[in-house]
Structure 1
Amino acid sequence: MRVISMICCATLALAGCSTVYRSSDVIPGAGDGTQVRVVPLNGETVTQANRAPYAPQSLPEAYARSAGTGAGVSVRGAGRLPEAPSTQDGLRNQRLALKRPPAVPEMSYQIGVGDVVMLATPTTRNTLEELTGLLAAQNSRNGYTVQDDGSVNIPDVGRVRIAGLTIEDAEELLFQKLVEAQFDPTFSLEIAEFNSRRVSVGGAVGKPGVLPITLTPLYLSEALAAAGSVSVPDIDVSSVRIYRNGKLYQIPLTDFYASPDLQNTRLISGDAVFVDTDFNLNRAERFFEQQIRLKQTTLAARAQELSELNTAISLRRSDYAEQRSTFEAREVLGANNRDYVYLTGEVDKQTRYPLPYERQASLADALYDAGGGIARETGDVSQVYVLRASSDPREFGAVTAWHLNASSAANLTLATKFQLRPDDVIFVAENPVTKWGRTLRQITPSLITTPVAAAVN
């Protein structure tokens, strides 16, 4: 009993000497020069609190802009392009000049790559067998196509090169091959499809296309007729042009129709025939040459513009990257002017929370981002406050304490809606058990040392 009495007396004595632990708290009313008004948080008071004007700070423009082709990016390119060349309307009175192609010597048809040849041999079978064999021969015709190496592949004989030979020379070569293979050399050779030698016809004709050259010569009049005949609005300014072996020849239509000799101009493989309504060959050549140069100039200008644009974009991108890097370095060093709220009391970490750029921050953001939330063992979830000083100079020292009672978890949704303002102070009170435990820890050393000192004395 004596010891208990001594402990109680020591506790009262220490409390009277103000050595017992004291914790912060939110005390409504006026005192110490501060007027505190406690407002419970609900849907209506959250809306009232959010009416306080505040514009979040903005990031530098370098974060918002891209290095695209906006204002400030200019390209020069090649400047103004040359004018398109003029046509020949001013020269209609000039007469077309005749420039006929040279005569082509008579020569036999030479087998070429792509031609299809058919080799026919006699048979002693009956009529039905002969018909069946004929159909088989027709169906195997593709097997005698002159391939890329100039050869045909004959079953049981092998590959025989016949490209470049006349039909007579090819028959003689095949005769020798059949004898060497011990086959009856009685056969006939004919060309079934002519695919190796062709002439193209285009321009002012009914059906432009490609015509084959067969065993009989192909003449200019026949080629034009096969292409649907000539169709021009004005015969006096039209001509037939033949492109052969890198050279261009011209036959005016008036001369063509008046001369059977010109109509019987023999065509050779590779000729390109074009019926043109233009009337001056040299002028036409210059015109097409100018068109090609104009197109090349246009492409070169676009390439130059693209190069200059890429250079400008690269420079702008580097400039923006430098601005961002400088801003971020200032942020790390604390040189930027930021808006903060402060967290104190029973939170996991007492710190200051920088308000984000370009958006509002809520009470929940600050608690669970910077402060780590309410301290689970020591914090009183029913006593969460946001302390906000009045911005009115006439109310200096007035503080509004927005009170959140989070003992009901549903009230935490109010924390996600409550918007923070610069210099707000978020305070979480300690629970009563924590306050009492801290008081005991503070006075326990005194309770132990006081009886010992008394016994010694």
Structure 2
Amino acid sequence: MTMTPQAISAANASPYQPRRVPRAFGQTATAPDQAGMLDMPQTPGRPEDRPAAVELRVPPEITPGPYRIGIADVLLLATTAPVTEAEALSGILAAQNRRQGYTVQDDGTIAIPNTGRVRVAGLTVEDAEAAVFQALVASEMDPTFSLEIAEFNSKRVSVGGAVGRPALVPITLQPLRLGEALQLAGGVVAPDQDYASIRLFRDGTLYQIPLTDFFTSARLQRIALTDGDAVYVDTSYELDRAQQYFADQLALVQADTAARANVLDQLETEFTIRRAQLEEERQNFVALTELDALERDYVYRAGELVRQSRLALPYGRMANLADAIYAEGGFDNARGNPSQIYLLRGFGTTGGVRAYHLDARNPGNLILATQMQLRPNDFIFIEEQPITKWNRVVSQFVPSLFNQAASLSTGL
């Protein structure tokens, strides 16, 4: 196959990921996180009557999806079956108060009389209606009904601290916003709002919003809450706590010099250990490479080259045909035939071989050699010049003639 841009593009499409050097070659020995310990407190002053300004840390924005029914939610299923007003009222009360009937149970189902259990946990209201419809049809009952959520008990947000009524606020069909949750808990009752904050715990991370920022920003008031969030209005700054903090600072200053020296020693030791570990990993890799003890990808060079050899493909990048031709002394100009350069590549599982032919007599074709990527076990072969072939025939034939002549003269 002649090596053309189209043929090269098809050959390069075969998947291959070059091997990579160990991570130790891309790392540096950095100091551990204990560096922050060097910032020890300096000479203490008098305790402040006010704390420092609270930093604003807003939780990442979330997009509430449609409400999904959960365990302990109460569903109200209204059918066209004739019932008295007392029976209807009794049915609703039973579902609400005795956690049976249409309360979503621990297995995620509701029990419908004469129909059986229908799994609704994790479904939207629309999906739950479809599930109930199929259950009624399968039970040969009138599938005319309406379904709504009577109580939202599965998804809640806790609100506490300096609020009127600490509470568990349910999440309903409409997204629950931070401002709404605080209002449902009786509103903020902080005596000094300048130094109060709203702290939001979510998935193990603490976020905080200064109360003054909250009241002046509609965006902060509309932060969407999700199931499991905990909101706490914090106004716990007190003078006795400040005094205790001041005493703690005095104790830290007394140990300042010793602590700094100790931390510096620890940092230096840690840095030395990490640097030695990286160096050892690198030296081990180099040694294993020199011993040919690591798995490598190779191509093979034969024919009229200065040195025929097995050539290891590089780490972390693609090699090309030009790399293989000109490696280790390159092309033998005296004996090699530039018009007969071949790259042989196996393909498939049947042992088939595909040969790509490059005619390098035209220097412009050498660009193709830089575009042809190599793959493991490729075989690069350069044929000999016709005159080289003739010279080799003569060099083998002439000595045999002299030997024959010498034998005949000796026999005479």
Give TM-score scaled by structure 1 length: 0.42
Greater CA radius of gyration, 1 or 2?
1
Higher relative contact order (CA 8 A, sep 6+): 1
